[in-house]
Amino acid sequence: MPIQVLMPALSPTMTEGTLAKWRKSEGERIKVGDVIAEVETDKATMEIESIDDGVLGQILVPAGTEKIAVNTPIAVILGDGEKAGDARPTSNGAVKAQPPITKPAFAPARQPATGAARVQTVREALRDVMAEEMRRDPSVFLMGEEVGQYQGAYKVSQGLLEEFGPKRVIDTPITEHGFAGLGVGAAFAGLKPIVEFMTFNFAMQAIDHIINSAAKTLYMSGGQMPVPIVFRGPNGAAARVGAQHSQCFASWYAHCPGLKVIAPYTAADAKGLLRAAIRDHNPVVFLENEILYGMSFPVPDDPEHIVPIGHAKIVRAGQHVTIAAFSLMVHKALAAAEVLAKEGIEAEVIDLRTLRPLDTETLVASVKKTNHLVTCEEGWPFAGIGSEIAALMMEQAFDWLDAPMARVAGADVPMPYAANLEKLAVPQPEHIIAAAKSVLNRR
Amino acid sequence: MAASSARKPHADKSGGSKPGHAPADELIRLYRMMLLIRRFEEKAGQLYGMGRIGGFCHLYIGQEAVVVGVQAALTPKDSVITAYRDHGHMLACGMEPKGVMAELTGRSGGYSRGKGGSMHMFSREKNFYGGHGIVGASVPLGTGLAFAHQYRGDGGLCAAYMGDGAANQGQVYESFNMASLWKLPVLYVIENNRYGMGTSIERASARTDFAGRGHSFGIPGEAVDGMDLLAVRTATLSAVAAIRAGQGPRILEMMTYRYRGHSMSDPAKYRSKEEVDKVRGERDPIEGLKHRLVEQGTSDEARIKDLDGEVRALVNAAAEFAQASPEPDPAELATDILVAA
Ligand SMILES: Cc1ncc(C[n+]2csc(CCOP(=O)(O)OP(=O)(O)O)c2C)c(N)n1
Ligand SMILES: [Mg+2]
């Protein structure tokens, strides 16, 4: 029976890919292990190896085709004496296409472009601003696992080793506690390290140095010793990677005096805020998001584009309810706002952008206008960012709230692996919609 | 057909059969286990490509002789712990392929009922303590399991596996110190597959002789050909004998190689295809043992073919089970967080 070769899933977040190149042509004989094609995923170019012996009977998807969904048939491999027409249709074959798991059910929000701007992914924006700051200031360097030769585990540092060399783009051993401490020591001495954590889950091994060594030293030294360092990397849930690899650390770091904590959503903010973080004289925890890396937004061409730390942004104006979110949750809040608008509810969506210091002023002003508030975060509800905002609103906006605010947060459980349970654990637009309606007493 | 285990079925005070002289039936059993791991992992790779397995999936293909050879020298009362490249360890501990595969697909029939995934699986019954996603964690945890063996005086030991990359973590040396200080019954197995993700050992380690890493703590270590099942078994038997005699921890550095990428999303640009092909062609642990079995007349091509058929059937059944088993009940989201009073 001829065998259909399907577009493979090659990463936790891949739902579609580009067929970059065919390495075999129709009629060519192939063996198990032969590379038949190259596929570009959201992270890298991967080689597809054949898992069958036979003849490449038919190429179904020509090279250069973009956005091929996972599980789409891309070629047919024939056994001896078989013809291409014998290929088993996928509809009744053993291989049935499954709906991709991580594809957002809503279109990516784009900001209207103003002035000179170009469209970039968050990944590219982060890379560009690191390069720009490294060109500008020779004391800035990047250190972390796989940041150099491998070009970044999530390809954020692509090209930096080539431009700046191994003195300034440093591949470390897998020793977070050690290299975070080393980075803090270098910052004591006046260098400006950018320490990349492959993900913030692994920064738990380094949290002692982030807090005890970086956050407290200026204070303990009576102001003598600033610690100009950036700790950055993806934070929050990726997709199907389980309890030890999907967690939001926003409230952990935001709890600590002596740190600044940033969690951007758009590429423009990622760029402008990372620039501000690198130039800041304090330790900054910069929380990125793996799912956002591949999303595109307009980014100003201005080479000095900088976004000051500590300012929230109203990303959608509305008068009925305020929805405060950060990072990927802004995306979901905007999607929720679209749905609410169809039902006559105009939500004001605030992108917090910085979590410490929190822009309470913008929040209070919005609540004074809408009199209703919903907060959104991926992290656990207990002692979360939403809890803090609730306390602040009690103190500063109590008289303007027409109803108790609502918190949308991750389920109060370790992240499950199973697809259906993970969906229940991670806050979705539907949860935000329901929360907004409940504070407005609408059904 | 039930999965067998690579471990010896009965506890044996002498430390097992004589090093280097594995009985024929044992050799066949160990060959079959390596084959089971290989076929299981190939199937897992296919299911990942089809989107049936999500997240990270780290295949053990190429390293089979390490876990099968080590487990052959252990007994059921010994405990085992490793990192996220763990499917082979679970099968070698005698865990059911069905239950492991169903965990990979996130179904209720999985060992963690779908809640753990590829990197997080456990079996109390088989004394398998995970399945840990954080690099280095298995080392102090395994040292703690050894502490419990000593505390209870149950005669067991812990085999704590780590990668070459993990071997640079500070917690490893904190563990070595305590294990040696307190003469804990722990076997540290360093699976040196030459890479931690995309970083070769030369680029991550000031010294790459991992067997010598216990030197400052007085822990003897030995480098072993991890592609040779009999060499692994022999070295482990003598290390285990010393540990059981109360001499404290031992380190075995297994020189091995992984054929596939670090995880499914690794483009593997850091090494050449020729490098991989050379190891696969010249040092493959399964081909190596097969050769030996046939040459020594322990087995013949026909018997080997039968074994392959048996193993394939087992793996296919596991894959079917893993796709047919239902997703966990939504109520499972909020269970197992604390032990009920
Ligand atoms: C503390 C920590 N840092 C980083 C990672 C990401 N990571 C997962 S596996 C891996 C490489 C580990 O290499 P090694 O210990 O040699 O094991 P191998 O994958 O070769 O089996 C890295 C960096 C992690 N899981 N935990
Ligand atoms: Mg390794």
pLDDT in tens, A119-128: 999 999 999 9
Q: Do the bridges between strand A16-22 and strand A35-40 make them parallel or antiparallel, or are there none, so unpaired?
A: antiparallel
> CA angle at residue A155 from A192 to A150, to 5 degrees?
85
Sign of CA dihedral A234, A240, A241, A245: positive
pLDDT for A84 beyond 80? no
Output the CA–CA distances (angstroms, integers) from residue A79 to A2, A31, A88, in the order listed. 6, 11, 13
Selected for mutation to probe chain B from A174, A424, A431 (highest B CB count within 10 Å) is A174
- Indicate which residue's Cα is closest to atom 20 of ligand 1: B196
- Beta-carbon separation of B134 and A205 below 8 A: yes
Q: Where are the domains of chain B?
A: 18-319
Could you give the 3-state DSSP secondary structure of residue B252?
strand
More confident residue, A18 or A354: A354
CA of A438 to the centre of ligand 2 (A): 51
CB-nearest partner of A149 from B50, B103, B198: B198
pLDDT for B53 beyond 80? yes
Structure tokens at A243: 């309890």
- Quote the pLDDT of residue A97: 35
- Contact B174/A at CB under 8 A: no
What is the edge-to-edge ordering of all strands in the sheet holding A260-262? A169-171, A140-144, A192-196, A230-234, A284-288, A260-262, A354-356
Considering every ligand atom shown, identify the ligand nearest to the alpha carbon of residue B60 and give its number: 1
Mean pLDDT of B152-180: 98
User: CB under 8 Å to A200, separation ≥6 — which residues?
Assistant: A233, A234, A235, A236, A247, A249, A287
Are A284 and A215 members of one domain? yes
CA of A46 to the centre of ligand 1 (A): 20
Are A187 and A228 members of one domain? yes
Answer whether A394's CB lies under 8 Å from A424's CB.
Answer: no
Answer whether B133's CB lies under 8 Å from B169's CB.
Answer: no
- Contact B107/A at CB under 8 A: yes
Q: Which of A143, A149, A195, A198 to mutate to test the pocket of ligand 1 (most atoms within 8 A of CB)?
A: A198
Closest CA to A433 of A353, A334, A356: A334
- Indicate which residue's Cα is closest to atom 25 of ligand 1: B134
Selected for mutation to probe chain B from A98, A417, A424, A431 (highest B CB count within 10 Å) is A417
Lowest model confidence (mean pLDDT) among A9-18, A380-389, A410-419: A9-18
From chain B, the residues in CB contact with A98 under 8 A are 50-52
User: Tell me, what amino acid is at A420?
Assistant: N
Domain tally for chain A? 3
Whichever domain contains A188, its CATH number is 3.40.50.970
CA distance A367 to chain B (A): 33
pLDDT for B184 beyond 70? yes
Give a yes or no: residue A164 inside a domain. Answer: yes
- Quote the domain boundaries for residue A150: 117-300
Could you give the 3-state DSSP secondary structure of residue A268?
helix
Are A177 and A135 members of one domain? yes
Selected for mutation to probe chain B from A421, A423, A424 (highest B CB count within 10 Å) is A421
pLDDT for B11 beyond 60? no
> CA angle at residue A32 from A30 to A35, to 5 degrees?
65
- Quote the pLDDT of residue A77: 87
Query: What is the rounded distance in angstroms from the CA atom of residue B88 to the CA atom of residue B73?
Result: 16
Mean pLDDT of A350-367: 98
- Quote the pLDDT of residue A15: 80
Closest CA to A319 of A365, A385, A359: A365
> CA angle at residue B57 from B165 to B6, to 5 degrees?
80
Mean pLDDT of B27-51: 96
Residue B21 pLDDT class (50, 70, 90 cuts): confident
pLDDT for A207 beyond 70? yes
Mean pLDDT of A76-91: 64
Considering every ligand atom shown, identify the ligand nearest to the alpha carbon of residue B254 and give its number: 2
Q: Which of A300, A321, A336 is the last residue of a domain?
A: A300
CB atoms within 10 A of CB B11: 14
Structure tokens at B302: 């026909």
For A371-411, the pLDDT digits (tens) are 999 999 999 999 999 999 999 999 999 999 999 999 999 99
- Quote the pLDDT of residue A13: 79
Q: Which of B86, B87, B135 to mutate to test the pocket of ligand 1 (most atoms within 8 A of CB)?
A: B135
Chain A, 259 to 278: residues with Cβ < 8 Å from chain B are none
Lowest model confidence (mean pLDDT) among A11-15, A36-40, A401-405: A11-15
Query: What is the rounded distance in angstroms from the CA atom of residue A239 to the CA atom of residue B106?
Result: 13
- Beta-carbon separation of B117 and A417 below 8 A: yes
- Quote the pLDDT of residue A90: 37
Q: What is the mean pLDDT of chain B?
A: 94
Query: What is the rounded distance in angstroms from the CA atom of residue A92 to the CA atom of residue A99?
Result: 16
Residue A49 pLDDT class (50, 70, 90 cuts): confident
For B206-253, the pLDDT digits (tens) are 999 999 999 999 999 999 999 999 999 999 999 999 999 999 999 999
Give a yes or no: residue A110 inside a domain. Answer: no
Lowest model confidence (mean pLDDT) among A47-61, A171-185, A245-259, A333-347: A47-61
- Contact A173/B at CB under 8 A: yes
Are A276 and A134 members of one domain? yes
Output the CA–CA distances (angstroms, integers) from residue A17 to A8, A106, A382, in the order listed. 9, 19, 39
From chain A, the residues in CB contact with B198 under 8 A are 146, 149-150
Considering every ligand atom shown, identify the ligand nearest to the alpha carbon of residue B169 and give its number: 1
Whichever domain contains A361, its CATH number is 3.40.50.920
Are A93 and A198 members of one domain? no
- Contact B196/A at CB under 8 A: yes
Answer whether A87's CB lies under 8 Å from A2's CB.
Answer: yes
CA A250, distance to chain mean position in Å, is: 13
Q: What is the ipTM of this complex?
A: 0.90
CB-nearest partner of A174 from B51, B115, B165: B165
- Beta-carbon separation of B135 and A202 below 8 A: yes
Residue A109 pLDDT class (50, 70, 90 cuts): very low
Are A181 and A248 members of one domain? yes
Are A208 and A279 members of one domain? yes
Question: What is the CATH number assigned to the segment(s) B18-319?
Answer: 3.40.50.970
**DSSP type of residue A15:** S
Query: What is the rounded distance in angstroms from the CA atom of residue A202 to the CA atom of residue A207?
Result: 9
Q: Which of A258, A275, A300 is the last residue of a domain?
A: A300
Are A276 and A136 members of one domain? yes
Query: What is the rounded distance in angstroms from the CA atom of residue B145 to the CA atom of residue B143?
Result: 5
Any residues with Cβ below 6 Å from ligand 1, and which?
A: A 145, 174, 176, 198, 202, 205; B 85, 133-136, 163-166, 191, 193, 195-197, 262
Look-up: residue for tokens 């010994």?
Answer: B78
Query: What is the rounded distance in angstroms from the CA atom of residue A284 to the CA atom of residue A430?
Result: 33
Give a yes or no: residue A325 inside a domain. Answer: yes
Could you give the 3-state DSSP secondary structure of residue A296?
strand
Chain B, 237 to 296: residues with Cβ < 8 Å from chain A are 264-265, 267, 269-270, 273
Are A195 and A287 members of one domain? yes
- Beta-carbon separation of A205 and B267 below 8 A: no
- Quote the pLDDT of residue A252: 98
Mean pLDDT of A215-235: 97
Q: Which atom of ligand 1 is nearest to the CA of B258?
A: 20
CA of A415 to the centre of ligand 1 (A): 20
User: CB under 8 Å to A13, separation ≥6 — which residues?
Assistant: A42, A43, A102, A238, A239, A290, A291, A294
Closest CA to A156 of A197, A184, A200: A197
Are A90 and A134 members of one domain? no
Structure tokens at A128: 């560009």
User: CB under 8 Å to B61, separation ≥6 — which residues?
Assistant: B38, B41, B42, B258, B259, B260
CB atoms within 10 A of CB B248: 22
Q: Which of A300, A331, A351 is the last residue of a domain?
A: A300
Q: What is the mean pLDDT of chain A?
A: 91
Chain A, 178 to 237: residues with Cβ < 8 Å from chain B are 178, 201-202, 204-205
Under 8 Å CB pairs connecting chains A and B tally to 172
Query: Mind telling me the catalytic residues of A?
Result: 176, 245
